[in-house]
Structure 1
């Protein structure tokens, strides 16, 4: 069943739970404290539960540790470069490290963040031992039933199988359907044949399903119509201001090909404007994410025009000194359109559709953006060019 089909026939009382797989947490950058993942806190106060498989929880924990370690490595790398180029004393570098890391271990930070998320959302953990029968798992494996495939490394699919069988067993025992938010094709294949599990491949669309108050949709429609008439200046300006303020927080990763080893540095990101994407006809540009008559959180998808300048520094390996020797640099500018999601929080008397509403907050959801700078090489014509 496609997401739109689910929306057309969705009745919240038939769905006792919503769950996410690891792919959704990764797609949201593992930002448990902000963005769409923070919006899951609404299920703390709903009859619908947020549930999570034991395997998925452990995968999230592992991915958090990985990203925390990567961030630590990048910080230490930057401090090392600062020490060399700015001639900063070791004492100052060590003081900065102590101030940032405070002696904490990645495992401890990951555990603290995950536990806070579980508490904030009242998440219910589904343990495999209570729901998965070993005999059924082995049968699915040898019969190549979803999520196991006939080809490929089937042993790698055991975590998925354990998670999905846990979910289906939990749903059957509780006689309720579960919204499963996933990008994973193996999960989709399994849920397609399930009586209890219904797939939605977009977290915002999944959250929209639970905003069953007519006013939420009516307000989104009204705002969309105002935009079509050029009467949405306040929200448009608030979004533009948020984009300008957050432009350097966009996770831009340059990619390029070269005959030489290089290091890259994004030196300039300029915001140049945005356009709303149409989410559905007739020209609806806002989607309700959370609604409680005092505030409404809506999602909008944007095409954001930016100019990105990146410096590339090239090296060759000196086999005698056993060190990399700089041979020059160049800079490249790219004009690109990025797909960016924003969450807009609106407040006011939301019991009435035509009442004035105020903009309480605009949150830019940052994701990993890879920009291809093409073929690069040292600028031999301008060796003295200062970057």
Structure 2
């Protein structure tokens, strides 16, 4: 069934980590020049901005604290400490940074705003008192008002323009509302929604599958290397929470994933491939995979002081563990898709689905490398050469 527009719910933005410039959300830029419109409810835009501002403030505070900590621990050469202060002073206001970032996304995607004023108060009240979707028949229905306003305003926009909308949302209320709407259908998976809007997606999917089959067989080493390099860089930047247990209070300071290998996932006999963008000599596809990686984390350890009623820092500890998890990556291919595989170049490779948290098990105090302590004991402090005492008065050399 053809659609004239696509819209995204707030929970879809959150599921992608509000990564506006990368991954699946970046693929929305195709709609700026496409016959299909990207429309966003004013409600969704406001909610995304609120979440983005919270994330930005948290990151800003953590970054400034890290810069201060670097200086306190004298981990930066004295000659560079002034530059460190300048970096701290140049950090912009988090609320303004979030507004500008969202504004750039809206401009890049050509998103059209659907004002909440499109929503009819009469229709809103009818849904509320009838406990019709997205309102639940039980529970506190006031929390459903934002969804109801968003959906009714989008439906009014579609009716006025004679359009059909494909909405991307994992919210059950949105899905239930769509069952009674002639203008809105709901798909909970963004990648599948994007594929639905692509013409000739089946042929492009077959080309991607053919290339991945060649990568697995080892007949396309350049493509294989490009994919592994992309996965290595992307996994290293993946954000996840580090967890552990032990006799100390633990707080993760930093963590990272070191790529090991991947195996393409299959649905039946076919690879799990979803075309999310298709243009002239370009295709972007989400590919399901099982990853192996080494997770590494640094923890700060503390104990509770019952007298001063505060946590006392006890140093740190590092941990690593081998993990395997289900996920997916986005690969962009360039070239003539109808031509030979050798003429297709692998472009951007980004991990778009991976592990949320890693349990590192028992974390104990790290006493350090014994060799470091032995070296410290054996080292002699540097001292300036003693000056030769001046001859005593009344004496001279050689006597």
TM-score by length of 2: 0.83
1:21-74: CA deviations, max 9, x gaps? Answer: 111111111121122111111111211100000000001111111111011111
Q: Secondary structure at the match of 2:275?
A: strand
Choose which of 95, 99, 106 in structure 2 pairs with 1:111. Answer: 99
Larger mean Cα displacement after TM superposition, 340-349 or 115-124: 340-349
Greater Cα shift, 317-326 or 151-160: 317-326
Compare CA radii of gyration and give the structure with the larger one: 2
Of the three residues 126, 130, 140, the one matched with 2:114 is: 126
Of 255, 273, 286, the match for 1:299: 286
TM-score (norm 1): 0.85
* Contact preservation (8 Å) 1:328, 1:383: no
Q: 2:295 aligns with which of 297, 302, 308?
A: 308
Q: Structure 1: which 5+ residue stretches go unaligned?
A: 1-10
- Which shifted more, 70-79 or 214-223? 214-223
Aligned to 2:165: 178
Question: Which digits, 9 at most, give the CA deviation of each residue in 1:98-121, with x for residues without a partner?
Answer: 426625212221121111111111
Q: Which has the higher contact order (CA 8 A, sep 6+)?
A: 1
What aligned pairs does 1:1-387 form with structure 2 within 5 A after superposition?
11=1, 14-86=2-74, 95-96=83-84, 98-99=86-87, 102=90, 104-129=92-117, 131-213=118-200, 215-226=203-214, 229=217, 231-258=219-246, 260-266=248-254, 269-278=257-266, 280-321=267-308, 323-327=310-314, 329-350=316-337, 352-354=338-340, 356-365=342-351, 369-373=355-359, 376-379=362-365, 383=367
Whether the 8 Å CA contact 1:277–1:285 is kept in 2: the answer is yes
Tell me, in whole angstroms, the C-alpha distance in 2 between the residues paired with 1:124 and 1:319.
Answer: 57
Query: Match for residue 393 of structure 2?
Result: none
Residue-pair matches, total: 370
Shift in Å, 1:191 = 1.6
Distance 2:91 2:367 in 1: 43
- SS across alignment from 2:25: helix
Distance change >3 Å, CA 210–CA 304, structure 1 → 2: same
With over 3 angstroms needed to count, the CA separation of the structure-2 counterparts of 1:89 and 1:41, relative to structure 1, is same
Q: Quick one: distance in 2 between partners of 1:177 and 1:383?
A: 64
Report the counterpart of residue 380 of structure 2 in structure 1. Answer: none
Q: What is residue 8 of structure 1 aligned with on the other side? A: none
CA RMSD of aligned residues (A): 2.8
Closer/same/farther in 2, CA of residues 368 and 315 from structure 1, 3 Å limit: farther
Give secondary structure in 1 for the equivalent of 2:4. strand
CA contact (8 A) 2:327 2:354 kept: no
2:271 partner SS? coil
Structure 2 counterpart SS, 1:179: strand
For residues 18 and 267 of structure 1, the distance between their equivalents in structure 2, rounded to whole angstroms, comes to: 36
**Range with bigger deviation, 24-33 or 49-58:** 24-33
Q: Deviations over 1:306-334 (max 9, x none)?
A: 11133433212335455532346544432
* Structure 1: distance between partners of 2:315 and 2:87: 35
Q: Would the alpha carbon gap of residues 268 and 99 (structure 1) be closer, same or farther in structure 2, given more than 3 Å must change?
A: closer
Conserved in 2, the CA contact under 8 Å of 1:188 and 1:199?
yes
